[in-house]
């Protein structure tokens, strides 16, 4: 082409190239590019165009080829610059303003040039935008192909910030808005969507500039875009236009700081060793608008950096060397006292073997009918009164193996009832909850009405901070007694009186004087699991338009603060009609509530104590609601970029009236749920980052089950520290002390003055004979911890299941006790849990990043948990398995993270040869076993990579320093499952507890599969298996046969890896799809088809076919 001099051969070559490139794949074009095709075409263009009378027979096919090739050539803009092709194209375009066909071809070339931002900026300098505005006219049905191309070129040019600036200075914003209005109102048949879309795209690019946003608002852009779209929100065909409008409105919505006096937590705690308390981060009105203003025009050559992989530890020395002890060896001796089981002589036991076996099992076997000694009234826990716990069989009563045999748990799966299944629905349809289960409830209802309880009052039964009983306000105590008598409650492993006693010993930073009703009264899981909420199409759009309406139509805006931790209580006048909020109770953390409209409230969550961040967990009380009215709640200071709330997860609700009607339960609730970036920013000064931090809104609607109820709303099923302490006491009393060794002791005191419990569970020796004692002392250890992250209450429910199973009479539990000693720290961060934190301890730090070198004074629970593990190692009793229970906010199901050198190096594609590296692969067995056993568990989400950023987590430190090859993090979704028998269901507490018992069974099978497994255990297990019709055996075979099955090695990190779901809910989505290959290709193809006609083909419907000379 470059060497051809005569017209005929050039035409022929272009013809051949055109034919060659119009079929086949992109590979042909890439080949042409690699052989200098772009250069040849550009050279030909320049040569042809510079002649006195350019030959359009050559230019038109040439432009088509240029566009086609240029699209795929990343350096095309640069090449065009070098060949000075920009100028000649602009000149050609100017010459052909009235010749549509020629102009169209020039525009295609310009559009391809403009893909490069620097080239686009150059075009802008040379007057390309003025030229385009001459072409883009108000609504017409003529030359729409040209108008469309011109609009698209303009949009491409405006990606350059200098072009955008020029456009703002020349007043293009108002012109573009007028054009938008004009096309939008005239194009009633939606025939010219692409032009309308491109016009909006222009505005969106301009809105990237601060001056652009100002010009947009000054030109009434918010009002114009808002009103033009209001009447067509439901029109599916307008989808591309509406989504762009929404993006622009969100971009131009004025940014502001959160409506808080300070970003720091409302609670502060003076910690030892901290520097003088920092001044609170005061939030002031300031400039949030300069995001990226200074940025120069740059081509973003997308560098595909694998960020996750960068985080992988590739230093083999760091991976495989074992660091020394982090403390003086003699310090370890203090932990001897925490392992009394190794030294106890059990003198109370008689030496006759087998004595304990005749113990009357029935007395202890069934935990679910325990009369706790702690209840002074000796409440009659009549089984028949339990109206709705009955449908779901109590898990512990069926043996775990038989449940595995059935392939799933006993949890009743609801037929997928569709979205928004409301467990209260039956209650509502029968009036005030007169359930099918009969008279008891109606009796309760009667008394409920007679007494006309002030149920707001009973939600505050924590009897003052003083410890003495005499200080009890008598009425409250009597009220509670009366309530408990008239509304007998029976929740397994729970006792309200004991809870109150324990609550008095729980120390909070702000000295809570109240207890939340649900924690006090107890929770009984509803009879069926709840489906995930089906997301209604367009729900986010509606919510965002409602938010924008606050600015544009403020007539119904109330904006009244109705609750605030920062203001003296009480804030609300009792006469007003608004909802009442409260959160000063254990794990509660609502900081502020603002009534925005009559039925809409903005809520702000408190930051973690001594911190300015970590808002995710929430728990608060709300009362004074009206019946059958949908309230909208917006939690406006969330921080994560995405949330399971966008994918079917619902918050949880507890109704006091429902509880008094015999249904004390947390249930998933809420609809019209979505999660999106809002207009609140934190100033850069506070975060120390380059630009201000963004916030996200979680919005949900709730229709409360009863009027004038007292309800509690939470991120997930709450599980307080006091609940744990109550639970442990009841567990201890529930066991047969002749069979079960259950010891509860204090690992250490926390910074906040609470005891961190340590639990030891094993089987009592059959007698105190030397042989039996020796057997006990030789049992391997299993160490389980949980709840280092206080917002991960799901971890506590899994732990509850684990503890209850381990002390149960299930034969598997007995075998486990007889063969292992369990050391369990069920709550590593009591202070965080108590004070409503999501992530941190009272110092404001993440305790699961402190395992490398914890301090006895600053991170006592981590220091002593690690010390205990070191001690076990020092006496040669390194645990078989270490597992730390967590909750996961981005992924579904339950899964394990473990540690493997080889997998880490492979994943990182490390140059270090891994072939001669020997690694024990036993870390894979437990996840595989659990994959077969536990309905909620999936191997496919497990990962065994060691990340640099996780070097100080429990999992990595216990693996590396203690040499525990089976060191895990167990992650449970806050949401639910997308596989297995629970697919499509959200987790209830039953499923989480079941996971805890399945984890225990997994530990047994892991042992059976190990070479070190004792003959005796194998025999016992075999007997058990036969009794269970070899179901377990079957499972074992499946496990081993699948030993080589595919297990995806993912690059996700523990705790909170980035969300991998495909939907983008942020405001500044930068994917335009404007440069899609196929789209421009199609235009060109269409045109090429008509090229012989030599006339303009209009896109519009009918008419408009006109030849233009």
Q: Which is nearer to Zn ion, 602 or 792 (CB)?
A: 792
Q: Which is nearer to Zn ion, 123 or 638 (CB)?
A: 638
Distance CA 707, CA 682 (A): 38
Q: Which is nearer to Zn ion, 521 or 974 (CB)?
A: 974
Question: Is residue 543 a contact point for Zn ion (CB under 5 A)?
Answer: no
Question: Residue 432 CB: number of other CB atoms within 10 A?
Answer: 16
Distance CA 119, CA 87 (A): 11
Q: Which is nearer to Zn ion, 608 or 792 (CB)?
A: 792
Sketch the per residue contact string, 440 through 479, with Zn ion: x for CB under 5 A, - otherwise: ----------------------------------------
Least distance from Zn ion to the Cβ atom of residue 849, Å: 11
Q: 3-state class of 639 per DSSP?
A: coil
Q: Which is nearer to Zn ion, 32 or 827 (CB)?
A: 827
Least distance from Zn ion to the Cβ atom of residue 788, Å: 7
Long-range CB contacts for residues 297-306, cutoff 8 Å, separation at least 24: 297/117, 297/118, 297/120, 297/121, 297/160, 297/161, 297/162, 298/117, 298/118, 299/77, 299/116, 299/117, 299/118, 300/117, 301/74, 306/1051
CB 136 within 8 A of CB 181: no
Looking at 306-314, 320-328, 329-337, 1050-1058, which segment touches Zn ion (CB under 5 A)? Answer: 1050-1058
Distance CA 103, CA 98 (A): 8
Looking at 617-625, 650-658, 849-857, 1053-1061, which segment touches Zn ion (CB under 5 A)? Answer: 1053-1061
Told to judge if 1029 belongs to the known catalytic residues of this protein, a careful annotator would answer: no
Residue 463: which residues within 8 A CB-CB, separation 6 or more?
Answer: 471, 472, 473, 476, 477, 500, 504
Least distance from Zn ion to the Cβ atom of residue 985, Å: 22
Distance CA 133, CA 172 (A): 9
The first and second tokens of residue 206, run together, are: 């301009």
The first and second tokens of residue 1005, run together, are: 């099978």
Question: Is residue 72 a contact point for Zn ion (CB under 5 A)?
Answer: no
Looking at 354-362, 540-548, 849-857, 1047-1055, which segment touches Zn ion (CB under 5 A)? Answer: 1047-1055
Looking at 459-467, 721-729, 796-804, 1051-1059, which segment touches Zn ion (CB under 5 A)? Answer: 1051-1059
Which residues 971-1000 are close enough to bind Zn ion by CB under 5 A? none
Least distance from Zn ion to the Cβ atom of residue 1055, Å: 5
Which residues 388-417 are close enough to bind Zn ion by CB under 5 A? none
How far apart are the two ends of the chain, measured CA to CA in Å? 30
Least distance from Zn ion to the Cβ atom of residue 1002, Å: 20
Distance of CA 484 to the CA centre of its chain: 38
DSSP characters for 333-346? GGGGGGGGGGT---
Looking at 669-677, 733-741, 892-900, 1054-1062, which segment touches Zn ion (CB under 5 A)? Answer: 1054-1062
Question: Is residue 886 a contact point for Zn ion (CB under 5 A)?
Answer: yes
Distance CA 61, CA 56 (A): 9
Distance CA 188, CA 655 (A): 50
How many residues interact with Zn ion (rule CB under 5 A)? 4
Is the bond leading into 570 cis (omega within 30 degrees of zero)? yes
Give the active site residue among 971, 994, 1096, 1098.
971
Which residues 95-134 are close enough to bind Zn ion by CB under 5 A? none
Looking at 204-212, 331-339, 354-362, 881-889, which segment touches Zn ion (CB under 5 A)? Answer: 881-889
Distance CA 497, CA 600 (A): 37
Q: Which is nearer to Zn ion, 281 or 789 (CB)?
A: 789
DSSP 282: B
Shortest CA distance to 401 belongs to which of 847, 779, 812, 110?
A: 812
Which residues 327-366 are close enough to bind Zn ion by CB under 5 A? none
Least distance from Zn ion to the Cβ atom of residue 886, Å: 3
CB 247 within 8 A of CB 672: no
Which residues 772-831 are close enough to bind Zn ion by CB under 5 A? 789, 792
Least distance from Zn ion to the Cβ atom of residue 839, Å: 8
Least distance from Zn ion to the Cβ atom of residue 927, Å: 18
Least distance from Zn ion to the Cβ atom of residue 605, Å: 18
Strand partners, 603: 593, 635
Question: Residue 336 CB: number of other CB atoms within 10 A?
Answer: 12
Tokens 């965002």: give the residue: 544
Q: Which is nearer to Zn ion, 111 or 888 (CB)?
A: 888
Least distance from Zn ion to the Cβ atom of residue 988, Å: 20
Q: Which is nearer to Zn ion, 792 or 1007 (CB)?
A: 792
Strand partners, 289: none
Looking at 353-361, 636-644, 704-712, 884-892, which segment touches Zn ion (CB under 5 A)? Answer: 884-892
Torsion of CA 195, 196, 198, 203, to 10 degrees: 150
Q: Which is nearer to Zn ion, 143 or 886 (CB)?
A: 886
Q: Which is nearer to Zn ion, 766 or 1055 (CB)?
A: 1055
* Residue 907 phi, psi (nearest 5): -60, -40
Cite the active site residues: 971
Report the interface residues with Zn ion, using CB under 5 A: 789, 792, 886, 1055
């Amino acid at each position: 082409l470059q060497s051809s001099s005569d017209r005929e051969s050039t035409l022929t070559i272009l013809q051949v190239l055109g034919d060659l490139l119009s079929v086949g794949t992109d590979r042909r074009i890439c080949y042409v590019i690699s052989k200098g095709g772009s250069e040849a075409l550009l050279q030909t263009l320049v040569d042809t165009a510079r002649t006195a009378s350019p030959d359009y027979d050559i230019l038109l096919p040439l432009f088509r080829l240029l566009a086609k090739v240029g699209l795929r050539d990343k350096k095309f803009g640069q090449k065009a610059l070098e060949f000075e092709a920009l100028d000649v194209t602009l000149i050609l375009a100017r010459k052909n303003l009235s010749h549509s066909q020629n102009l169209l071809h020039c525009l295609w070339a310009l559009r391809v040039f403009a893909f490069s931002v620097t080239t686009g900026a150059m075009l802008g300098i040379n007057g390309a935008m003025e030229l385009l505005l001459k072409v883009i006219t108000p609504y017409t049905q003529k030359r729409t192909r040209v108008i469309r191309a011109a609009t698209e070129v303009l949009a491409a040019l405006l990606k350059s910030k200098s072009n955008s600036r020029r456009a703002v200075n020349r007043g293009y914003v108002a012109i573009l808005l007028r054009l938008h209005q004009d096309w939008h109102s005239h194009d009633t048949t939606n025939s010219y969507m692409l032009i309308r879309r491109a016009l909006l795209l222009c505005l969106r690019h301009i809105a990237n500039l601060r001056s652009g946003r100002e010009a947009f608002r000054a030109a009434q852009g918010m009002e114009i875009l808002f009103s033009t779209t209001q009447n067509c929100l439901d029109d599916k065909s307008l989808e591309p236009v509406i989504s762009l409008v929404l993006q622009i409105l969100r971009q131009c919505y004025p940014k502001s700081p959160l409506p808080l006096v300070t970003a720091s937590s409302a609670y502060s705690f003076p910690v030892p060793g901290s520097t003088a308390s920092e001044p609170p981060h005061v939030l002031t009105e300031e400039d949030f608008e300069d995001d990226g203003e200074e940025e120069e025009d740059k081509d973003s050559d997308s560098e595909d950096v694998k960020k996750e992989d960068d985080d992988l530890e590739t230093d083999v020395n760091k991976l495989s060397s074992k660091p020394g002890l982090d403390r003086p060896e003699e310090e370890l001796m203090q932990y001897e006292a925490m392992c009394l089981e190794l030294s106890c002589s059990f003198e109370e036991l008689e030496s006759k073997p087998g004595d304990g076996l005749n113990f009357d099992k029935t007395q202890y076997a069934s935990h679910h009918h325990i009369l706790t000694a702690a209840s002074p009234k000796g409440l009659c826990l009549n089984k028949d009164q339990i109206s709705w716990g009955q449908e779901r069989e109590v898990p512990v009563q069926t043996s775990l193996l038989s449940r595995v045999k059935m392939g799933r748990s006993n949890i009743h799966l609801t037929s997928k009832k569709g979205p928004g299944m409301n467990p209260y629905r039956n209650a509502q349809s029968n009036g005030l909850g007169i359930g099918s289960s009969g008279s008891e409830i109606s009796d309760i209802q009667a008394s409920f009405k007679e007494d006309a309880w002030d149920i707001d009052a009973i939600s505050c039964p924590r009897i003052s901070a003083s410890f003495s009983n005499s200080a009890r306000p008598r009425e409250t105590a009597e009220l509670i007694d009366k309530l408990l008598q008239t509304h007998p409650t029976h929740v397994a492993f729970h006792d309200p009186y004991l809870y109150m006693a324990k609550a008095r010993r729980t120390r909070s930073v702000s000295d809570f004087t109240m207890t939340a009703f649900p924690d006090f009264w107890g929770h009984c899981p509803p009879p069926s699991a709840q489906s995930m909420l089906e997301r209604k199409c367009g729900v986010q759009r509606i919510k965002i338009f409602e938010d924008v309406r606050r600015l544009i139509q403020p007539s119904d805006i109330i904006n009244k603060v109705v609750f605030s931790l920062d203001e003296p209580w009480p804030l609300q006048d009792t006469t007003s009609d608004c909802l009442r909020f409260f959160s000063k109770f254990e794990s509660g953390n609502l900081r502020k509530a603002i009534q925005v409209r009559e039925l809409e409230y903005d809520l702000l969550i408190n930051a973690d104590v001594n911190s300015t961040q970590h808002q995710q967990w929430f728990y608060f009380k709300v009362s004074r609601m009206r019946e059958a009215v949908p309230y909208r709640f917006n939690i406006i200071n969330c921080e994560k970029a995405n949330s399971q709330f966008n994918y079917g997860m619902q918050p949880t609700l507890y109704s006091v009236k429902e509880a008094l009607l015999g249904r004390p339960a947390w249930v998933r609730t809420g609809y019209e749920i979505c999660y999106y970036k809002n207009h609140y920013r934190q100033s850069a000064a506070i975060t120390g980052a380059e630009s201000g931090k963004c916030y996200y809104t979680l919005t949900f609607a709730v229709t409360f089950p009863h009027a004038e109820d007292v309800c509690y709303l939470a991120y997930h099923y709450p599980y307080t520290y006091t609940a744990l302490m109550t639970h442990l006491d009841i567990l201890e009393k529930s066991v047969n002390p002749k069979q079960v060794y259950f010891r509860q002791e204090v690992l250490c005191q926390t910074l906040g003055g609470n005891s961190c419990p340590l639990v030891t569970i094993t089987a009592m020796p059959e007698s105190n004979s030397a042989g039996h004692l020796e057997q006990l002392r030789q049992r391997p250890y299993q160490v389980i911890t949980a709840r280092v992250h206080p917002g991960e209450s799901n971890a506590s429910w899994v732990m509850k299941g684990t503890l209850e199973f381990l002390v149960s009479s299930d034969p598997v539990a007995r075998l486990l006790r007889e063969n292992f000693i369990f050391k369990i720290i069920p709550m590593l961060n009591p202070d965080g849990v108590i004070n409503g934190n999501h992530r941190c301890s009272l110092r404001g730090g993440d305790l699961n990043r402190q395992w490398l070198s914890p301090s006895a004074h600053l991170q006592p629970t981590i220091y002593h948990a690690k010390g205990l593990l070191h001690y076990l190692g020092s006496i040669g009793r390194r645990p078989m398995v270490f597992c730390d229970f967590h909750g996961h906010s981005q992924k579904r199901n339950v899964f394990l993270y473990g540690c493997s050198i080889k997998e880490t190096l492979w994943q990182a594609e490390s140059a270090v040869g891994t072939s001669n590296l020997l690694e024990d692969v036993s870390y894979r067995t437990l996840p595989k076993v659990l994959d077969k056993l536990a309905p909620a568990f999936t191997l496919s989400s497990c990962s065994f990579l060691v990340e640099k950023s996780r070097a100080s987590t429990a999992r990595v430190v216990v693996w590396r320093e203690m040499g525990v090859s089976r060191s895990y993090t167990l992650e449970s979704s806050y949401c639910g499952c997308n596989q297995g028998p629970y697919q499509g269901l959200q987790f209830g507490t039953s499923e989480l507890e079941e996971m805890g018992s399945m984890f225990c069974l997994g530990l047994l099978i892991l042992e059976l599969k190990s070479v070190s497994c004792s003959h005796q255990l194998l025999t016992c297990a075999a007997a058990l298996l036969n009794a269970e019709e070899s179901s377990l055996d079957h499972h074992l075979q499946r496990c081993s046969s699948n030993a080589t099955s595919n297990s995806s090695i993912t690059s996700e990190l523990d705790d909170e890896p980035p969300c991998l779901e495909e939907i983008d809910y942020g405001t500044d989505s930068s994917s335009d799809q404007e440069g899609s290959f196929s789209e421009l290709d199609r235009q060109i193809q269409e045109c090429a088809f008509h090229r012989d006609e030599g006339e303009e083909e209009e896109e519009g419907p009918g008419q408009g076919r006109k030849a233009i000379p």
